[in-house]
Amino acid sequence: MLKIAIYGKGGIGKSTVTSNLAAAFALRGLRVIQIGCDPKADSTVNLLHGEPLTPVMNFLETHDRDPESVDEIAKKGFGGVLCIETGGPTPGLGCAGRGIVTTFALLESLELFETFRPDVVLYDVLGDVVCGGFAAPIREGYASQVLIVTSGEKMALYAAGNIKRAVDNFADRGYARVRGVILNRRMVENEEEKVRAFAEANDLPVVADIPRSNDIIRFEDMGKTVVEGDPALPVSKAFLALADLLVREGLPEKSKE
Amino acid sequence: MKALSTVISIHSSDTAGVCSALYELGGMTVVHDASGCNSTYATHDEPRWYEGNGMVYISALTEAEAIMGDDDAFVTRVVRAAEDLGTCRFIAICGSPMPMMVGTDFDALAKIIAERTSLPVIPLHTNGMRSYLAGMAESFTALAERFCREDVQKCPGTVNVLGATPLDFSVNGQVESICSWLREEGFRVRSCWAMGSSLDELSLAAGAEVDLVISSGALALGAYFERRFGIPFVAGVPVGEKFAAFLAEALREAARSGRSSRPCLDCRRGDPAGPGVIGETVMSASIACALELERALPCRVLDPLEPEFGLRGPGDLSVPDEAAVASVFAGAPAVIGDPLYRPVVPAGTPFIALPHEAFSGRCFRKGMKNLIGRNFAKEFPSC
């Protein structure tokens, strides 16, 4: 099973990258789960064509009981991708990190992986690793590799560096390791050079180069990922190429299929 | 406001279950909690604290450490304490509400502490929100996974006693009486989890022919031994001569057939309109068996703990909170239970007090009864 956590600065396009990657894996015939770990609960919206999904924490708050099955907190989206959102508190209140820990414990008790038997699990995680809860997706048993999304913007690269250091700090805990950097282009001058310099300085490969594309926005307005909307577009091909790379490395038997 | 207790007590927490289960085994148990909480786990709930050395520690977690996620402070204190002790066989680390709220990763911390001390470190996932049964169940199973050896020869006629802690049996000789009764019945006690046996003795548990589960906090361990070593388990406490005889026969049958059984459920018809026996279900169901067999008084067992741990016979009932307890007591012809239930027993309803350490702590320790075997006839009051 391929288990990947996607991190990056707020607003850098993590949810767009994650849901397009999920769609790309699904187009390759893989069983995929995407878990949005953001209180905004909007990670999977473009896989679900705008259909509402009850986030786990909202379910717990409303029903005052644990869900009896995964069906109560998950929905299948494009390509059969199983979509789950942790959800979380109103901004400024409660503890969003705790919401992630609670959700993961619950998914474990519901035996999500044993019953759905995914080939790929994607965790789309809020911004920086701000507290223990936001590191939960990279704990042992969850994601085994981290992909950092960044553009050539100074603050995005700064956040990427922080994330790399945070993950490295957990090395003695048996947590996930950073697999590489995804360049999500923002039309910054010398963008590729800047990101490649960052990657080299941190001894990381750039595993994907996602071009700036209005097609992403066009299909998101229709409640879709661009990979679903038109897999033949260059931007879709970039996501499909990344999916193929990760499958070749992590699921070689699926790659042959 | 579900599960609110306004009058009656609550059961000891999962953390107390961990501390009690591991108390005698030569390991250091560290509860990640604020300083001053030690007395809750180690004295109010632990009669052995007064008799000898114990190795239950509190990490002295501070507000700043919790907010800043300063796990290093915890690791450093645990490592230093282990070095100071010098002789501990293992380290168990477990949580309380504060680490639960900040999402402390005990599995990862156990890995780090094990590397720094070269000792086996057992992470236990308590949060202070569940009952002692959860802590017992997790501790016993984790201990068995870590320490029980495979290369042990089966010894015919031997029994492991599973689920002995003062939280259920106090220190009034009940556990010793259970072991004596087993010897009288021709069995040898291989190990007792976990009163009166050393860690080395527990590590040889795979050699037993059958397990006797005396608390629902050890049903998970019984199931684990059945899965891993093929040892069948028999659930029941030998309360009263007649039920004890039934239980002894069930042990012999399990040894012969290799099949597990629950005599404390199978040996009685029960009666939903009969007196209510409230408490931990293996002991309560065994008392109900004795009452039915020796006094022709069929009862209903009322389970106030988490339903997933308990056993349920026909007519038995889960009473998860004070409102449910009061409602069932209102229709019961008599109630048998811990004295701290008395305030919700209607005036005029006969009440027989059987103190339970996990519910009333040390408040009624002097009144704890030993009901094993023939003691039942003289110790248990007439209803």
Closest residue on chain A to B104 (Cα): A132
- CA distances for B266 relative to A47, B233, B286, angstroms: 53, 14, 10
pTM for the structure as a whole:
0.85
DSSP 8-class letter at B21: H
Write down the mean pLDDT value for chain B: 93
Q: Within an 8 Å CB–CB cutoff, is residue A95 touching chain B?
A: yes
Nearest CB partner across the interface for A101, out of B2, B103, B112: B103
Q: Within an 8 Å CB–CB cutoff, is residue A131 touching chain B?
A: yes
The β-bridge partners of B373 are B239
Q: What is the CA B17 to chain-centroid distance, rounded?
A: 7
* A74-78, B174-178, B269-273: least confidently modelled range: B269-273
- The reply to whether domains B14-130 and B266-379 share a CATH topology is yes
Q: Is the pLDDT of residue A110 over 80?
A: yes
Q: Within an 8 Å CB–CB cutoff, is residue A140 touching chain B?
A: yes
pLDDT digits (tens, 9 = 90+) for A111-148: 999 999 999 999 999 766 667 777 888 888 889 999 99
pLDDT of residue A172: 84
Are A125 and A134 a contacting pair, CB within 8 Å? Answer: yes
Which residues make Cβ contacts (< 8 Å) with residue A90, sequence separation at least 6?
none
DSSP 8-class letter at B261: B
Nearest CB partner across the interface for A140, out of B69, B104, B107: B107
The tokens describing A123, both together, are: 């965790």
Domain-located, residue A144: yes
Are the beta carbons of B103 and A133 separated by less than 8 Å?
yes
> Using 50, 70 and 90 to split pLDDT, how confident is the model at B226?
very high
Which residues make Cβ contacts (< 8 Å) with residue A27, sequence separation at least 6?
A79, A227, A231, A240, A243
Q: Within an 8 Å CB–CB cutoff, is residue A139 touching chain B?
A: yes
Closest residue on chain B to A174 (Cα): B108
pLDDT of residue B314: 84
Q: Could you tell me which residue, A118 or A52, shows the higher pLDDT? A: A118
The tokens describing B182, both together, are: 């087993």
How many other β-carbons are positioned within 10 Å of the β-carbon of residue B165? 34
Dihedral, A142, A134, A68, B15 alpha carbons, nearest 10 = 90
Q: Which residues of B touch A132 (CB under 8 A)?
A: 69, 102-105
Domain-located, residue A257: no
Are the beta carbons of B101 and A139 separated by less than 8 Å?
no
Are the beta carbons of B108 and A174 separated by less than 8 Å?
yes
pLDDT of residue A124: 95
- CA distances for A51 relative to A54, A75, A76, A101, angstroms: 10, 9, 10, 25
CA-derived radius of gyration, chain B: 21
Are the beta carbons of B108 and A139 separated by less than 8 Å?
yes
Domain-located, residue A256: no
* Residue with the two structure tokens 């390991």: B27
Are the beta carbons of A175 and B102 separated by less than 8 Å?
no
> Using 50, 70 and 90 to split pLDDT, how confident is the model at B242?
very high
Where are chain B's structural domains? Answer: 14-130, 158-263, 266-379
Domain-located, residue A168: yes
A/B interface, count of CB pairs below 8 Å: 38
Burial B94-125, CB ≥16 within 10 A → b, else e: bbbebbbbbbbbbbbbbbbbbebbebbbbbbb
Q: Which residues of A touch B108 (CB under 8 A)?
A: 139-140, 170, 173-175
Q: Which residues of B touch A101 (CB under 8 A)?
A: 103
Closest residue on chain A to B68 (Cα): A131
Q: How many Å lie between the alpha carbon of A134 and the closest alpha carbon of chain B?
A: 10
pLDDT of residue A129: 63
Nearest CB partner across the interface for A173, out of B69, B103, B108: B108
Are the beta carbons of B2 and A64 separated by less than 8 Å?
yes
The rounded distance, in Å, linking the Cα atoms of B46 and B171 is 10
State ipTM: 0.71
Q: Within an 8 Å CB–CB cutoff, is residue B111 touching chain A?
A: yes
Q: How many Å lie between the alpha carbon of B110 and the closest alpha carbon of chain A?
A: 9
Chain A window 56-75: which residues touch B at a Cβ cutoff of 8 Å?
64
Domain count, chain A: 1
Task: Assess if CATH 3.40.50.1980 describes domain B158-263.
Answer: yes
Q: Within an 8 Å CB–CB cutoff, is residue A188 touching chain B?
A: no
Q: Which residues of B touch A172 (CB under 8 A)?
A: 111-112, 115
Q: Within an 8 Å CB–CB cutoff, is residue A219 touching chain B?
A: no
The β-bridge partners of B74 are none
Q: How many Å lie between the alpha carbon of A17 and the closest alpha carbon of chain B?
A: 27
Q: How many Å lie between the alpha carbon of B42 and the closest alpha carbon of chain A?
A: 29
pLDDT digits (tens, 9 = 90+) for B158-187: 999 999 999 999 999 999 999 999 999 999
Q: Within an 8 Å CB–CB cutoff, is residue B348 touching chain A?
A: no
Catalytic residues of A: 9, 14, 40, 128
The rounded distance, in Å, linking the Cα atoms of B353 and B368 is 9
pLDDT of residue A98: 82
> Using 50, 70 and 90 to split pLDDT, how confident is the model at B62?
confident
Q: Measure the N-to-C terminal CA separation of chain A; round to a whole number of Å.
A: 15
- Which backbone phi and psi does B123 adopt, to 5 degrees? -85, 130
The class level of CATH for B14-130 reads: alpha beta
Assigned CATH for B266-379: 3.40.50
Q: Within an 8 Å CB–CB cutoff, is residue A170 touching chain B?
A: yes
The rounded distance, in Å, linking the Cα atoms of A90 and A96 is 9
- The beta strands (E) that lie in A25-112 are given as 32-37, 75-76, 82-85
Q: Could you tell me which residue, A31 or B63, shows the higher pLDDT? A: A31
CATH classification at residue A225: 3.40.50.300
Helices (H) and strands (E) in chain A, counts: 11, 8
- CA distances for A235 relative to A122, A247, B60, B333, angstroms: 20, 19, 54, 76
* Residue with the two structure tokens 């050393």: B198
The β-bridge partners of A98 are none
Q: Which residues of B touch A135 (CB under 8 A)?
A: 105
> Which domain covers residue A88, as residue numbers?
2-248
Domain-located, residue A119: yes
Are the beta carbons of A131 and B115 separated by less than 8 Å?
no
User: Which of B1, B76, B102 would you mutate first to test chain A, the one with the most A CBs within 10 A?
Assistant: B102
pLDDT digits (tens, 9 = 90+) for A186-245: 999 999 999 999 999 999 999 999 999 999 999 999 999 999 999 999 999 999 999 999
Q: Could you tell me which residue, A174 or B351, shows the higher pLDDT? A: B351
